[in-house]
Structure 1
């Protein structure tokens, strides 16, 4: 079914969520209620199977009776154009299988928390007479807040008749089926309990107990092979938790938990201090096997003696021979049996280093298992079985658990945060933190400006080095003397230092548009965020008229007036030691685009400007110093 398809004119398909042996599940939008839903659509090859259809509808109706926060809600069951479908609650997040793979090892309280939520859901189903039949981590969803929701209650029964022949379909579930399911016997509520025990095993160890090349090979192990010990994977797992696994996965139904309530009660206090080292649980079959029945010994004293003397001699000789042989055998055993040695401590070593150490004690390397560790680097040994300093016989095999390093997690975006807080937090996680300082006008002192590891990149914290560039605050600067700066030059200077510029104007005989005063004074230390106030000489143009010119004359023929006045150009100190000045004027005789005067000055210098203006004509001028306009007047009148 393609994305965008509108099912029953209500559910808009967004994408495929997953495919199973019986149905395909899609993420869709309910356009009526404006919410996301999951839609399970019966496989097309089963839509004409009357038995499958009956069970599909019967189980779906039964699910609508279930009310539990840890069971996915069913919203609707319907048919459209031959398509049988269920509309269910959509649970954004992941499933327990993926959660185990990405978070193993889980803490024991988290394991118990998850399993108690699962048990709550299964108990509700069993109360309504519904057996799940396909409990596995893939059918246990975990939302974004870490809560559990179980899905696919009872639906798998619709293909039960031909499950064993569909090997590829079975493979997803065969790791979790009960012995009675594996051999085709009647399935009961205790079958679900067995599957729950396998799920608990996987949460504790990160592995399923049985593996095989085919579904049949794995199924055989469920009812023929002894359940492996979770302690083979991690000696630290409390015995009380292993006992719950053993009790739930007992092959004998009489020894298995009789109902979910029993398992829930047992698990709920499994982490109590008084239970952590309790004796290992044994099922009824194991206890009976360990109880030996003594043979019936007949009373030989009542038998009449025949040839007693000869018989006694034979018995005596035979006894001496047996004793001699036992003495010889004992001596041989003492001489030939392996000596006892102490298991060396190989924790923190590589496999090669551990083998060398074990060989020195005439011990062999056994099974190698792997798990994440925040204490040991990848490739280092976490622990051994038997544990270090345990006495064993030479040639014994020592199993080891090898570190896969710390689980990779996304690195955070720490920009703008307090360096002290971040460094303390990451150091606790094993990250090597380095700091470099940098002045900043934008980032507060002590806050992180940048980081050497990009945000969200997945890293192993105890194998990671990060360099943080930390703000040293705004750098203090001594103010320049801004006298004779234009307003624009003063603004540029303030921007460079991160200062707030306030501009005032005042009447002055100085060149209009130039700074004539500043506060704070030149030489004062300032830093970003401080305020700089400058006073600019007014530029109203009233001084530049023929009436106040040094000299003027009028041409009686044309009526044009010619007049002159002086403009003082202030010198601004530079590395070059001089300023280049260009003056432009516009009047009857000059174009504004042509340079009127050019000069090089080393001090404040007066320039005489001569204008010729016809009646009603207005002149203008501008002064450019070292490429910047420092004065301009567009209202020169006669």
Structure 2
């Protein structure tokens, strides 16, 4: 526990100056990263000052592409920083995992980094150690710069010594490699190297020692990214060339200027742009080679000396001296022969040519031209390189290898295909997320359904088990929108047959009641719910029909009103289950259940078997109540039909029989 609030969870990484841990802030209930100064350095005043300077530099910068510093503290003599926890990976790992990276994505990443560095420069803060390892990419693709441990404010004279070199040598500017003072243009050089690595997957200069790499930074030209990938526009390569110019004066004036140039590098208007050539008219501080004629003039003897020597009389050479000179000449000849033999017998080297995008036969010929051979051939899926074409080589292009060496070819097996699972019956949200995570475009179309729950997949456009190219194929899901909603019509004044036609057309259930009224028999006099109500398919409405005028009491036989309860069994349709296991979904089964349409006919004083008394749709065993009006001494009856077949019937229903 640090500061009484930060509970250390696990280690995230170790560095030369500090170790980084994942911790939980108990007060604000959030995950944070804690950078803790190493124990063996806590007594070093310079290291402590540098560590504290990182916290000071970072707290001055508030930017979405800079890792935020929340707190600075000390615990038992240990210095620590509490920073924003970025869940993801550093840019170095991102390049290794996703290379080759589309050009537009490269520009998007660089524009985020340039925006953050520009703000730092506006605060007169130079990072001095810009490299992919210090750039984090979160799960949403947002880049964030971290590690201002060797950042330097321009006002701090104590940190501008010219005899101290800090930073990572692969991304070090020529002036820093010579031990000179870092400037804002030193950061621009490092940004150019990062852009080079994003485009090629590797750093421009490699060597066995840090010194050999540093020498290459101020002596060797940056290799062309277009030789690695000819499809890279010249305008985009020019950004790399200008940012990594040897002379700071030839680089961009500011990070903002580099960002502006990078933003338009893919524009068709710059398609015919020429290659950037720096102005080399000024002295860059390198060692000069004297002109040959000047050197001879410097070393030529004076003419008067020549005249004096010419007048001297040659003395006869002693015989022993002659033998000595002859032996020396023989020894020199022998040494020359040995050196020549060694030179001719030395291993000969060749640079691996660029064979990206070529067929195996074309690559074999190009390697043979360099006296190299094809080694093992490995196939790898690629959405960028056409099938049966070379993605890359091992060793990589421009790498010096001994002649007759075998070069491994990585060949494209075509786009990485995705196997579509069986998502019917699953949640659309989950099914879409599974496919989108694998790069598949998903579309949704809604369809009403009384049987399938809202949000569940009813159909899919691609059959389960089929392999698709995620870049070219779209999967469409038909998703249940639930039961259809409708506005209930005004049924008052409608006849019984008109009501039956309406409820059949709108997939509603209906129950009829009768009352004496002045309207004609079988004409609707009331309805429930009222007209204008919003209903779902399958809802039961109650319609009251007229029995006609009430007859005179003396001549009317007594009528018994009573209810009869009947249980209607549900008939299960044939079910089918389909179990499919795929890369995207676990086993699932789907049962198709058909509903039963039931029609009930009644025979009493108000009804006969010629018209439907009640119509409903059931999906399970259902109990219904039948209301009878039967004259004394007589009986009623009912019959219940499903799919045109009578399933229940009773033709002798009386008040006391049920």
TM-score, normalised to structure 1, is 0.53
Q: Partners of 2:651 and 2:362 in 1: how far apart? A: 85
The structure 2 residue matched to 1:380, chosen from 389, 402, 405, is 389
Instruction: Return closer, same or farther for 1:357/1:233 CA change in 2, 3 Å cut-off.
Output: closer
Give the direction of change, closer, same or farther, for the CA distance of 1:125–1:358 in structure 2 (3 Å limit).
closer
Distance in 2, Cα, partners of 1:523 & 1:200: 78
Change over 3 Å in CA distance of 1:406–1:93 after alignment to 2: farther
- 1:263 paired residue number: 258
1:204 corresponds to 2:204: no
Q: Distance in 1 between matches of 2:92 and 2:77?
A: 33
Show the counterpart of 2:26: 31
Q: How do 1:485-500 residues align onto structure 2 when only pairs under 5 Å count?
A: 490-491=569-570, 493=572, 497-499=593-595, 500=619
- Say if 1:286 and 1:495 are closer, same or farther in 2 by CA, change over 3 A: farther
Contact 1:377-1:404 within 8 A present in 2 as well: yes
Q: Which residue of the partner structure matches residue 520 of structure 1?
A: 642
Alignment of 1:145-156 (within 5 A): 145-155=140-150
Deviation, structure 1 residue 76: 1.0
Quote the offset at 1:265 in angstroms: 3.1
- After superposition, the Cα gap between the structure-2 partners of 1:9 and 1:252, relative to the gap in structure 1 and judged at 3 Å, is same
Q: Equivalents in 2 of 1:260, 1:466: separation in Å?
A: 41
Q: 1-side partners of 2:204 and 2:214: how far apart?
A: 12
- Note if contact 1:451-1:468 (Cα within 8 Å) is conserved in structure 2: no
Residue correspondences, number? 421
Aligned residues of 1:182 and 1:223 also touching (Cα < 8 A): yes
The residue aligned with 2:108 is 113
Determine the C-alpha separation between the residues in 1 that align with 2:126 and 2:418: 40
User: Where in structure 2 are the equivalents of 1:195-594 lying within 5 Å?
Assistant: 195-285=190-280, 349=359, 351=360, 353-354=361-362, 373-374=382-383, 376=385, 379-381=388-390, 403-405=411-413, 415-416=423-424, 446-447=459-460, 451-452=464-465, 461=469, 490-491=569-570, 493=572, 497-499=593-595, 500-501=619-620, 502-504=622-624, 518-521=640-643
Q: Decide whether aligned partners of structure 1 residues 536 and 19 sit closer, same or farther in structure 2, where only a CA change above 3 A counts.
A: farther
| Residues 494 and 94 of structure 1: CA distance in aligned 2, closer, same or farther (over 3 Å) | same
Q: CA deviation at 1:217?
A: 3.3
Distance 1:288 1:88, change over 3 A: closer
- Give 1:66 deviation, angstroms: 1.6
User: Quick one: distance in 2 between partners of 1:468 and 1:113?
Assistant: 30
- CA-CA distance at 1:178 after TM superposition: 1.7
1:31 positional shift: 1.0
* TM-score, normalisation: structure 2: 0.52
Whether the 8 Å CA contact 2:5–2:27 is kept in 1: the answer is: yes
Is contact 1:17–1:26 with CA below 8 Å preserved after alignment? yes
Name stretches of at least 5 consecutive residues in structure 1 with no aligned partner. Answer: 1-5, 297-344, 385-398, 432-440, 454-458, 472-486, 508-515, 525-532, 544-638
Q: Go from structure 1 to structure 2 and tell me whether the alpha carbon gap of 1:356 and 1:536 turns closer, same or farther (over 3 Å shift).
A: farther
Determine whether 1:70 maps to 2:65: yes
Q: Does 1:88 align with 2:96?
A: no
Contact 2:568 2:624 in 1 (8 A): no
Query: Does the 8 Å CA contact 1:429/1:461 hold for their aligned counterparts?
Result: no
* Offset at residue 43 of structure 1 (A): 1.1
Distance 1:195 1:356, change over 3 A: closer
Tell me the secondary structure at the aligned position of residue 251 of structure 1.
coil
**CA positional deviation for 1:237:** 0.6
Question: What do the CA deviations read for 1:548-583 (whole angstroms, capped 9, x no partner)?
Answer: xxxxxxxxxxxxxxxxxxxxxxxxxxxxxxxxxxxx
Deviation at 1:494, TM superposition (A): 5.6
Inter-CA distance 279–537: structure 2 relative to 1 (3 Å threshold):
farther
Distance 1:36 1:206 in 2: 32
8 Å CA contact 1:70–1:150 kept in 2: the answer is: yes
For 2:138, the equivalent position in structure 1 comes to 143
In 2 relative to 1, CA 280–504 (structure 1 residues): closer, same or farther, beyond 3 Å? same
The corresponding residue for 2:333 is none
Deviations 1:349-401 (A, max 9, x none): 3x2x3256669x989779999997426456523699xxxxxxxxxxxxxx999
How far does residue 86 in structure 1 lie from its aligned partner after superposition? 0.6
Q: Is the 8 A contact 1:451 1:466 kept in 2?
A: no
Q: Name the stretch that deviates more: 31-40 or 266-275.
A: 266-275
In structure 1, C-alpha distance between the alignment counterparts of 2:45 and 2:102, rounded to whole Å: 47
Q: Which runs of 5+ in 2 are unaligned?
A: 154-158, 285-290, 295-354, 394-406, 442-450, 480-565, 576-592, 596-618, 628-637
Query: Residues of 1 paired with 2:19 and 2:84: CA distance?
Result: 15
